[in-house]
Amino acid sequence: MCPVVSRKKKSIPREIAFQIVKFAIEKGFKRVVLGGGEPTLMSYFNDIIEELTRNNIEIWILTNAVDLSPFQIKYFSEHKNIVVNISIDGVGEVHDFIRGEGTFESTLANLDRLTSEGANVAINTVIQRSNYDKSIETYEYFKNYPLLWHGFSFAEPWHQKELVPPELIPTAINQLYEIHRRDQRYKNNVSLTSQLIKDFDLSSRYPEFIMHPGENCPIPTSHLGVDEEGWVVPCWHYPFWRKNESRNIYNRSLWEITEETEIRNEINKAISKEGCKGCSTVCYFWNEKFRTRVIAPSGKWYWNKKFMIWKLGLKNKMPKVHRIAGNIKDFFIGNC
């Protein structure tokens, strides 16, 4: 559900892709994530997988799994450094409505082949207007599959028309609480915790609330992203990275870009108290340090979360008081 629909569709050329691969190998990267769009459509996809595998790098492939070849399924199953992370947003017609007619059948067939061959498989479900009340159904359908995990997250504001409307949020949230309750008794492999669900609730009801790991976010110092347009960023969500020609992999090598003093200064600013203002993303929940800090933030982020929880409780338990307080606030703002 990334905002690729708003950009011109293209893929990184082979020579640029292999520059990234070489850089990852030389720098000792632990994990490479191949996303998109649909990464398996790249003509050189199998060659990238081979090179990374030869160098014992963990690979996550973010895919719709609609059109995986028998060779790919066999290869993924034989190599335990590979995790196939499949996007599944519902069962049957629900998934087809979101991702295209007939895609559920194709995706499910390849999921069955992957799991029967012993591949490492995870699935991710994005909650949105079209499936907000179908999360339990999706969980129950796939809970017996041998999955590494089943992730649940909400569509982000890139696609405003797909956001769950405020009046339907309680239904969506209650479904997640029920999944968490069931999975604790059964398998304990979904991405949900009670605190994370509460954070989802806050983020959906209050756009000003943001998940944040606090000072010294680990992502800019441990992550490197390159998009299909060639921009190199230490974090996908920090809004202040400079995008000039010297920061583009089509113009300079990754070695030159990452050694630049200016980008190092930007990273230091991003992780300082005056830097990043946070994001509502779960994109980095694979990073244990990030995940722990977001769920239990420190400093001003701790008090920000406490205030929002109090505000949510006031709205639920004392709606009249909450409404009066809101009217008073609007009056003073309007008369400033």
Residue the block writes with tokens 């998940």: 211
Is the per-residue pLDDT at 336 higher than 60?
A: no
The answer to whether the Cα torsion of 303, 307, 310, 312 is positive or negative is negative
Neighbouring residues of 239: CB distance < 8 A, sequence distance ≥ 6: none
CB of 166 within 8 A of CB of 203? no
Task: Please give the pLDDT value at position 326.
Answer: 65
Q: What residues contact 330, with CB distance under 8 A and at least 6 apart?
A: none
Name the band, by pLDDT with cuts 50, 70 and 90, for residue 44: very high
Whether the pLDDT of residue 297 is over 50: the answer is: yes
pLDDT band at 219 (very low <50, low <70, confident <90, very high): confident
Of 135-139, 246-250, 295-299, the range with the highest mean pLDDT is 135-139
Q: CATH 3.20.20.70 in the chain: give the residue spans.
A: 3-205
Query: Is the confidence at residue 154, as pLDDT, over 90?
Result: no
Q: Give pLDDT, residue 278.
A: 67
Mean pLDDT of 300-327: 72
* Count of Cβ atoms closer than 10 Å to residue 94 Cβ: 18
* Structure tokens that stand for 274 in this block: 């005056």
Q: Which positions ≥6 away from 43 have C-beta within 8 Å?
A: 14
Nearest residue to 63 (alpha-carbon basis) of 44, 91, 82: 82
> Peptide bond before 37: cis, by omega within 30 degrees of 0?
yes
Q: Which long-range contacts (CB under 8 A, 24 or more apart) does 177-182 make?
A: 178/136, 179/135, 179/136, 179/139, 179/152, 182/139, 182/143
- CATH superfamily, domain 3-205, is Aldolase class I (3.20.20.70)
pLDDT at 333 over 70: no
Size of the chain, expressed as the number of residues it contains: 336
State the pLDDT confidence band at 253, using cuts at 50, 70 and 90. Answer: very high
More confident residue, 214 or 230: 230
270-298 in b/e burial notation, b at 16+ Cβ within 10 A?
A: bbeeebbebbbbbbbbbbeebbebbbebe
Q: What is the pLDDT of residue 238?
A: 76
pLDDT of residue 332: 47
- Asked if the model's pLDDT at residue 68 lies above 90, the reply is yes
Q: Are 31 and 55 in contact (CB under 8 A)?
A: no
Answering whether pTM is above 0.85, one says: no
- Mean pLDDT for the chain overall: 84
Coil/strand/helix, residue 34: strand
Both tokens assigned to 24 = 């990852």
pLDDT at 17: 92
For residues 187-214, average pLDDT: 76
* d(C-alpha 208, C-alpha 280), whole Å: 10
| pLDDT over threshold 90, residue 63 | yes
**With 70 as the cut, is the pLDDT of residue 273 above it?**
yes
Q: Element (H or E) spanning 154, and its range?
A: strand 150-154
pLDDT of residue 277: 67
With a pLDDT cut of 90, the percent of the chain lying above it is: 44
Tokens of 205: 């009801």
Q: How far apart are CA 71 and CA 81, in angstroms?
A: 17
Q: Find the mean pLDDT for residues 299-320.
A: 74
Quick one: pLDDT band at residue 310, thresholds 50, 70, 90?
A: confident
Closest C-alpha among 8, 27, 1, 7 to residue 254:
27
Query: Is the pLDDT reported for residue 181 higher than 80?
Result: yes
Counting residues of the chain whose pLDDT is more than 70, the rounded percentage is 86
Q: Are 45 and 39 in contact (CB under 8 A)?
A: yes
The pLDDT of residue 2 is: 60
309 with 202: CB under 8 angstroms? yes
Is the pLDDT at 231 greater than 80, yes or no? yes
| Mean pLDDT confidence for 267-284 | 74
What whole-number distance in Å separates Cα of residue 51 and Cα of residue 208?
43
